[in-house]
Structure 1
């Protein structure tokens, strides 16, 4: 049996082409080059497969953020990494599909809890990234957790409201510069 990762990658390709609503389990089985029963043995329903796909995407993006941030030396670089993996790449993937609106709606309907879990994991990683700046953040009247939630919410809003990729990048740059100004103001050395 093909492993679950290969099935999920096939599902991602099919969803990119057809959107969530028009994608069938048969389409995914064909794309994965397996029989439909093998697919159903791994995922009992299309909703189960969508949940697994969202979970997989969230885990992959979080792993990339952690790995790349471990090599980054500045908050600016780390914010760029977070935005690249949690906002820019998903934006590009969704908008490269002719079924972009259906992908957004379909994922939201099928797996709100998986999306919320992925959101929380990335928010927690942002909190970890901001912890060294806790004193500056508190001096501004905020706390690290709330600031990480704000950044994540604002980035998500930018992704949902951007007219195109250039507009998204401008919104994210404004958000990053705002955060940097906040933590740099009280920075001692």
Structure 2
């Protein structure tokens, strides 16, 4: 049966209309990508920190690429660049809120780019949150394990790399005009 302008009354169309959402299979595929990236990067972060603590404690710097890249174990109670070292519990609470927000937004993922970006973001935030929850001096006050050292740059870890990669990928998606749900921003909207 057909309604006005050729629309089906029974809902069976050849494809989704302009206002239709993405098919469930596509959304599921993007969620699998999101979860796969997040889980893989999170495991790499947690394992690399465990190895760093085991192998670098009470040991001088290990040169990987001369003076350009060294392994140097640091326990950071603060945020990026060791700022706010007296606010570890606040950073822990903000990290919990960030994980919840990422998971909430991830329900709408409709693009592979966003799936990868949010997967890296979740892995990075969750990786550092894991340290804050389970490392000394105690829950919500734990110090984050950092071990990569570049000249004239704060020591960092895999979780920090994940957050940086996520930031770049999010900017790429925004500049491409791709929304989280996979739809595109029209040129007129971007020009405003």
TM-score (structure 1 length as normaliser):
0.31
TM-score (structure 2 length as normaliser):
0.30
Of Structure 1 and Structure 2, the greater helix share is in: 1
Of Structure 1 and Structure 2, the greater strand share is in: 2
